[in-house]
Amino acid sequence: MTVLYKIYQIFIAYPLIIIASIITSVVTTTGCFIGNGHFWGYHPGRLWARFICTILFLPVKVVGRENLDPGQSYVFVANHQGIFDVFVIYGYLERNFKWMMKKSLRKMPFIGIACEYAKHIYVDKSGPSKIKATYDNAREILREGMSLVVFPEGARTFTGHMGIFRRGAFMLADELQLPVCPLTINGSFNIMPRQRDGHLVSWHPLTLTIHKPIEPKGKGPEQIQEMMEESYRVVMSALVPEYQGTVENPDQ
């Protein structure tokens, strides 16, 4: 089965994924240029992400979607096991949102420019003014009623375990008094750890756990720290035992 799965990926799945990625990027870019950026910046990508999981026969289980209020904006914070985190969240969270992502991803062919037109937020850490502009952009997105998805670790794990969380997402939630919704992803590291970027995937089920949102209880540094620590504990609680515990990530 493993050999057949690899052959299937090489000759069928990957060529179709490349074609689908190009089409999705063109549709997203064109749609955002012409009209409703919130619609075109989300729905084509959602279908693209679902297509990738489906064509690779990767089952996705979602737990806790009932915890979300349809009319509420959230700052979603998730662990970052691997590239398939993106497909799970984009395809199966079923919330219109914007990503906060590394500036280096802008260089990806087709996808980089599509994300720019979709108003996803590239994090530029090249200087204080750039960092401020990044968070000003995120702040405006949230004020428009959109949700935001952030990987607070800032980089994918090397081990499957969680690194530390950074404060940026929680500072935004605190400033705008928005609930933080922790997300736990299991299975992404098993499918394609970052050490195997660009390789064939290993079959493994995926699970997205949507935890109960953490409502703001005040404002200021203590509240930010409390939200960050509680989010970390909640995300960790749903990880499979194999990846429980904190492991320092030198890439953070």
Q: What was the pLDDT predicted at 198?
A: 82
DSSP secondary structure code for residue 214 in this structure: B
Long-range contacts of 91-95 (CB under 8 A, 24+ apart): 91/46, 91/47, 91/48, 91/49, 91/50, 91/52, 91/53, 91/60, 92/49, 92/50, 92/60, 92/62, 92/208, 93/62, 93/149, 93/183, 93/208, 93/210, 94/46, 94/65, 95/68, 95/147
Q: Is the pLDDT of residue 66 over 70?
A: yes
DSSP secondary structure code for residue 219 in this structure: -
Q: Is the pLDDT of residue 221 over 70?
A: yes
Q: Is the pLDDT of residue 206 over 90?
A: yes
Which residue in the block uniquely carries the two structure tokens 């960050």?
A: 228
Residue 248's pLDDT band, with cuts at 50, 70 and 90, is: confident
Residue 196's pLDDT band, with cuts at 50, 70 and 90, is: confident
Integer Cα distance of 247 and 243 in angstroms: 9
Residues 155, 163: contact at Cβ < 8 Å?
yes
85-108 confidence digits (pLDDT tens): 999 999 999 999 999 888 888 888
CB-based contacts of 125, cutoff 8 Å, min separation 6: 103, 131
Q: Is the pLDDT of residue 252 over 80?
A: no
Question: Tokens in use for 90?
Answer: 């984009």
Q: Is the pLDDT of residue 189 over 90?
A: yes
110-164 confidence digits (pLDDT tens): 899 999 999 998 988 777 788 788 888 888 888 888 999 999 999 999 999 999 9
pTM score = 0.94
Residues 162, 153: contact at Cβ < 8 Å?
yes
Residues 28, 20: contact at Cβ < 8 Å?
no
